[in-house]
Amino acid sequence: MITITQLPPDCWEQYKAIRLEALQTDPLAFGCSYEEEANFSESTWRERINIMWFAMLKDEPVGMIGLLRGTMQSTSHKGLVVSFWVKPSMRGKGLGKELLLHLQVIAPDQGCRKMVLDVTMSQQAAIATYNALGFRQVGVLHQELYIHGEYVDQFVMEWLAPV
């Protein structure tokens, strides 16, 4: 059975392992590279884990999603969806939708009325997941990332909490 939960900072090594696996498996999906993050310090992982939710199979994280909240008065009502990933062996079972839906349920209770994200155009499963849960494409970012010697275009998508 899968549960969606946050993990305490002491679980930073589990988070580091799944994040580095994500960066190695799907480099086009993310704005950072495996090489850059492999050198992050323990304190960086301990800090970053605070914005993450994990899909846990027994005690093992098999998927994750992050929400980076705005820190200014003018931006605290919104969050940037980051680090959305499910292990390839666990895909197609509804975990991705479960993780995103979890954010949509808990975020408004915490004052987050809007979510935004950038998604690489080649990530069809991610785009389908966002569309299925009410995110709408509001823009295109050309040559937004430069990964493995190629420029990558992205869609900008947003979701507004129902009133």
Least distance CB 139 / ligand COA (angstroms): 14
Closest to ligand COA by CB, 6 or 124? 124
Shortest Cβ distance from residue 43 to ligand COA (Å)?
25
- Residue that has been written with the tokens 């960066």 in this structure: 23
Helix (H) or strand (E) holding 23: helix 12-25
Report in angstroms how near the CB of residue 94 gets to ligand COA at its nearest.
4
Give the nearer residue to ligand COA in terms of CB position, either 156 or 161.
156
Cross-strand bridge partners of residue 84:
none
Among candidates 108, 58, 117, 107, which has minimal Cα distance to 85?
A: 117
Q: What is the largest CA-CA distance in the chain?
A: 44
**CA-derived radius of gyration, the chain:** 15
* 21 vs 161 by CB, closer to ligand COA: 21
Nearest to ligand COA of 133, 161 (CB atom)? 133
Give the residues lining the site for ligand COA (CB under 6 A).
26, 29, 84-86, 91-97, 117, 119, 123-126, 128-129, 132
> What is the smallest separation between the CB atom of 57 and ligand COA, expressed in angstroms?
12
The smaller minimum CB distance to ligand COA, of residues 95 and 112, is found at 95
Q: How far apart are CA 129 and CA 29, in angstroms?
A: 14
The residue at minimum Cβ distance from ligand COA is: 96
Show the 3-state SS of 44-71. Answer: HHHHHHHHEEEEEECCEEEEEEEEEECC
User: Smallest distance from the beta carbon of 156 to ligand COA, in angstroms?
Assistant: 11
